[in-house]
Each structure stands twice: as structure tokens, then as C-alpha cells.
Amino acid sequence: MSRPVAVIGAGTMGSGIAQLAALAGERVLLYDVEPNRSATALENIKGFLDKMIKKGQISVHAAKATGNRIQLISSMAALQEAGLVIEAIVENLEIKKELFQILDAQSSPETILATNTSSLSVTAIAAACKHPERVIGTHFFNPAPLMSLVEVIPGLRTRPATVGTVIHRLQQWKKSPVAVKDTPGFIVNRVARPYYSESIRLFEEGIATVETIDAAMQAAGFPLGPFLLMDYIGNDINYAVTENMFNAYYGEPRYRPSITQLRLVEAGRLGRKSGHGFYPYPQDDLPQPDPDPAIRKRIVDRITTMLVNEAADAWYFGIAGASGIDEAMQSGARYPIRLLYQCVKNGVDHFIRQLEEWQHFYGEDRYRVSPGLRMIGEKLENFYTEKPRL
């Protein structure tokens, strides 16, 4: 019987990861510094399994066996048994480093230690360990049991074989792992930035209302308009991620946060959770404006071009392979288009022309053409199938 998976932190992400691992047949050890959090997590998981029974997705027997595979542990001493430890505690570098020091000491030397961090450096977390070569990032998306993407992030000192082992294990769990270089925002949080920032920019310029921009993007197949999505994520969280990216990339103008969104945060208009964001809530119906086709095209072109430029930049700087970037944006953010494959299909001239026009008009570096986009134009055929260089 294979060694169990330990999950540390039984909040939103930890309980989801415990659930999906148990459903995949793993024995799971679940730990939280607050013992009642892990007990509540197990109750919630059992409730979810009951729903699966009612929907005919799982038998009563299999659901019971799945629940029984999750064991709550109250001490790190139990980690000796684990073959893989996944950390999903609070997003704070010092606290995570303290924990990894303990994990390093309490687990056996060949145990893989994974962090679910969404924004911290895996390399920095691993530096707390005597054996950083076994530390890796596994960035699951919320809700973990349903979202197939997992960004797999080797730190600078991670052993290459560990990457392969973790990818294989995640595939056995029916996940879609994509290997990513240890850089701020990894793939999804980086490539998605223009979806938010360029939408706010269009609104600030008075080119369209939030309702019109949302309607245009939804009509283009994006599951949620950018403003509805920011309200859903929480403007405080979304603003903080953008601000972190801006600082982490030393003031890169493409990631500059917006004063419009900062004002919303200052006013407590955080989105759904506070009852008001860009929109007031509850709001049962999605906005239904039917924008003029020319405006709609302008909105979709502007946001999509910025997304393609960002994706090309991530490819150029070796954050991940081109197909990995597309796959991540489709399975992690449910984008309706493969951003980089579009370049193979339709060429890049149109994107380059638009960006040059905007850079000239606004005089801002934010619109500069990524060297990646120019290079894709020169080697359209094989860039898509190249192996990533992490």
C-alpha cells in the first residue's frame, strides 16, 4: 500500500485537496493547527460525498470508503508515514518557512514537501529546509476537487526527478499539471492581469461602461465579465494580487494597479462579500446590455490583444511552454480561446500593429510589443510544440 498524503491546513484549499486525494484512492492525513478546523473539514467533505451519492456519481460503499481514508491527525509526529506532504496554510512567508522547518525535521528524508502558495517564492520557502531539493510548489485552484489545473513549480534547488514524480501523481488524481518557472504570479495570475487591468482602463477612459465591457467579454465566451469577476474574487484580494505583481516585477507598467479599484477597496466596496463592488448585490441577473458591434469588437480586441501579449511574454521568458500556458488559461481560468495557438492560426501581425498603435497614441510602455510576440511571428510553426525550459 502506498504511503499516505498529508495535508497541512484544513481551510478552503486544504479540505478540497484532502477530498480530491481521498477520492483518487489515497490515504490522507489531515492536520490543522486548530483541531476543530480539521473536524469541520471532514464533516464538509462527508456532506459533499453524500451529495455525490444523491447525484449517482459515487456508490454508498465508495463514499464511505473515501471518508474513511481521511484520518485527522493532531501531531506532526504522524508525518513520518507520509510520502507526500501538501501545505495549504495561511499565505505568509515567515509562517510557511517556520512550518517547512518542522516538516523537514518531522518527515522522512525522501518525502516530497509541496506548498500550495499562490504568490510566494517556492525557492524562499524551500530555503527553510535542510533538504530543499524535495520542496516543490503545487498550486491548486479553487475549488480544488473541480478545477483540473495544478501549476507545478520547482524551486531553484528542487531535484528535477521530483517534478516528474509530482506531475505523475497529479495525473493519477486526474488533474492537469503544468510545469511553471518559480516567478511571481506563475502562469494564471500573471497572464490574467490584463483581463482586469485593461478592462478598468477602458472604463476609466470612458470607452465603455462596466456593464458593456462585461457583456462584450461574456458574448466573446469568457465565463464571467471582468467586473463581475473582480467582484466575485473580492476587489481587496484582486487589487492586492495586482499590487504584489507590480512590486515583484520592480514596477513593470503592465501590472500597475488602478486607482479606481483602490477607491472601491477604501470605500469597503469589496464585491459580493460586502454587498457592493462595481455592482450592488444581491444581483440575480447578469447585465444584459447589447453593445454596438463596433464597441464590442473594440473592447474584445483590446483585452484579448493584451492577454496574447502577456502570454507571449511569459513564453518568451521561459515561464512555461506555449501549449502549457494555453492549457493553464483554459483549465485554470476557463478562457474560451487558446491565446498562443491563435497566433499560430491567425498570425501575429494584427496584434503587433494594434499594440504599436496604442503605444504610439498613449506613449506608454504598458503597450509595448513583447519580444515574444515578435519572435513567435518569426518561428510560428515550432514554437508551440517546443519543450519548456524551466
Give the range of 113-121, 188-196, 200-208, 332-340 binding ligand NAI by CB under 6 A: 113-121
Min CB(351)–ligand NAI separation in Å: 30
Q: Provide the residue count of the chain.
A: 390
68 interacts with ligand NAI by CB under 6 A: no
Among 5, 6, 10, 135, binds ligand NAI (CB under 6 A): 10
Beta-bridged to residue 140, according to DSSP, are 150
Min CB(256)–ligand NAI separation in Å: 23
Whether the CB-CB separation of 309 and 193 falls below 8 Å is answered with no
30 interacts with ligand NAI by CB under 6 A: no
107 interacts with ligand NAI by CB under 6 A: no
The residue annotated as part of the active site, out of 118, 121, 199, 323, is 118
Which C-beta is closer to ligand NAI: that of 39 or that of 163? 39
C-alpha cell at position 229: 469577476
89 interacts with ligand NAI by CB under 6 A: yes
307-330 in b/e form (b: 16+ CB < 10 A) is: bbbbbbbbbbeebbbbbbbbbbbb
- Quote the CA–CA distance of 235 and 383 in Å, as a whole number: 36
Catalytic: 148?
Answer: no
Give the range of 88-96, 164-172, 243-251, 372-380 binding ligand NAI by CB under 6 A: 88-96
Among 4, 5, 7, 9, binds ligand NAI (CB under 6 A): 9
116 interacts with ligand NAI by CB under 6 A: yes
- Taking residues 123 to 162 in sequence order and writing x for each that binds ligand NAI by CB under 6 A, - otherwise, the string is ----------------xx-x--------------------
Bridge-based pairing of strands 84-87 and 149-154 is: unpaired
Whether the bond between 293 and the residue before it is cis, its omega within 30 degrees of 0, is no
Nearest Cα neighbor of 195 from 302, 327, 342 is: 302
Among 60, 90, 161, 286, binds ligand NAI (CB under 6 A): 90
Catalytic: 81?
Answer: no
267 interacts with ligand NAI by CB under 6 A: no
Whether the CB-CB separation of 142 and 232 falls below 8 Å is answered with no
Query: Which residue's Cβ lies closest to ligand NAI?
Result: 11
Catalytic: 168?
Answer: no
Phi-psi sector, 347: left (phi>0), alpha (psi -120 to 50), beta: left
Which C-beta is closer to ligand NAI: that of 116 or that of 121? 116
42 interacts with ligand NAI by CB under 6 A: no
Min CB(164)–ligand NAI separation in Å: 23
Q: Report CA Rg, the chain.
A: 22
Min CB(36)–ligand NAI separation in Å: 9
The residue annotated as part of the active site, out of 151, 198, 211, 327, is 151
Please report how many Cα atoms fall inside a 13 Å half-sphere around the Cα of residue 239, on the Cβ side: 18
- Quote the CA–CA distance of 79 and 246 in Å, as a whole number: 38
Give the range of 5-13, 169-177, 186-194, 331-339 binding ligand NAI by CB under 6 A: 5-13
CA dist list (Å): 368 to 168, 174, 254? 38, 39, 9
Catalytic: 189?
Answer: yes
- Quote the CA–CA distance of 122 and 138 in Å, as a whole number: 10
Min CB(155)–ligand NAI separation in Å: 15
- Quote the CA–CA distance of 28 and 300 in Å, as a whole number: 44
Q: Which residues bind ligand NAI (CB under 6 A)?
A: 8-14, 32-34, 37, 88-91, 95, 99, 116-118, 139-140, 142
